[in-house]
Amino acid sequence: MLESNLKAVNDDVKKLIKDAQALFLAAADLTGDKADEMRNRGMRLLDKAVVTAQEAQASARVAGREMADSAESYVKDNPWGALTTAAGVGFLVGVILTKR
């Protein structure tokens, strides 16, 4: 779920940036009030893209902290299970790397 949300936000930011770039390119050929209006719209789109990216970053940071806290709680509640899992993963990585 988090991955799909981040992908959607990433797609939105890319679209906003492309729209702003198109406005700036179009405004380059214009002069006067129309050009100023297009540049202002482009700047607003870029500002919106930055805000959206910052919100996504904050959301990802919160989700990461929650996952870290959850993992820490699991390890504290199940130290032997965590140790066994870590040893098993280490063994599998070792087997895979020695076969190469």
Domain extent listing, the chain: 2-99
* pLDDT at position 93 over 90: yes
17 Rama class: left (phi>0) / alpha (psi -120 to 50) / beta: alpha
Cβ neighbours, 10 Å, residue 49:
19
What pLDDT score was predicted for residue 88? 92
* pLDDT at position 2 over 70: no
What is the distance between the terminal CA atoms of the chain, rounded to a whole angstrom?
A: 35
Burial class (CB in 10 A: 0-12, 13-18, 19+), 28: exposed
Q: Concatenated DSSP letters for 26-46?
A: HHHT--HHHHHHHHHHHHHHH
pLDDT tens sequence across 13-33: 778 788 777 777 777 677 777
pLDDT tens sequence across 53-83: 888 888 888 888 998 899 889 889 988 988 8
